[in-house]
Copies of this chain bind each other. A is one copy, B any other.
Amino acid sequence: MAPSFTKNRIEAFSDGVIAIIITIMVLELKVPHAADHDNKAGAALTDLAPLIPVLLSYLLSFIYVGIYWSNHHHLLHATRKVTGGVLWANLHLLFWMSLIPFVTGWVGENHFAAAPMALYGVVLLMSALAYWLLQNTILRVDGNHSVLGRALGSDFKGKLSPVLYIAAIALSYVNTWLAGALYVTVALVWLIPDRRIERAISEDQGKRTEKH
């Protein structure tokens, strides 16, 4: 069956890119080594202190990329037909996600300063819009009465996130901790499992299995 084959390859490629994005971020955790500033060995636990904000920003971005991977997984699972438009909407999402390691590194190295925190929100916002665009492209191809259409329903989380990102971007210049708290909040909102798509899919599979 050719269409599912095409879908498989989009998934494989996306998995590859997302796997690299999520792992590249760890390269920002640079080993504190001997020759850095003086000739001391950099082998004490205290040498890791400057890495703590890098680790925290890595953790948050790891969760975000994980959420995107998980949602992307469910979204394409529910997809029936892949067109050139879907393919490019997917690449567009991967482009914005590929900037996450950069802004994560910038946030981490500058201990959550205002401009990096704001730019972090901009990249998350653009990723969210790209995801929304991908979702709508798929819906337009598959039709609103498809499994996906029923599953998404009101898409509350998808509509809430951009609003919170915009608030966090503005707040970055007021209080970076508030901005950070908003980023953590959005991550938590998404971590709560979205059972709607899963349920709709398993209902649909139930029906299809009965027909076989």
Contacts and interface: CB of A to CB of B under 8 A. Distances in A.
Contacts of A85: 193
B102 A29 contact: yes
A198 B84 contact: yes
A133 interface: no
A185 interface: no
A123 B149 CA distance: 42
Nearest to A27: B24
A66 to B, nearest CB: 4
B32 A106 contact: yes
Q: A interface, by DSSP: helix, strand, loop or mixed? A: helix
Contacts of A33: 109-110
Interface stretch (A3-11, A124-132, A136-144, A157-165): A3-11
A20 interface: yes
Interface in A51-79: 59, 62, 66, 69-70, 73, 77
Contacts of A2: 77, 201-202, 205
Given A45-B115, A110-B41, A193-B85, A19 B26 contact: no
A191 interface: yes
Contacts of A16: 15-16, 19-20
B43 A114 contact: yes
Interface residues of A, number: 69
A99 B23 CA distance: 9
A31 B205 contact: no
Interface string A24-52: 10111101111000000111110110000
B18 A15 contact: no
Contact of A28 (B31, B87, B94, B116): B31
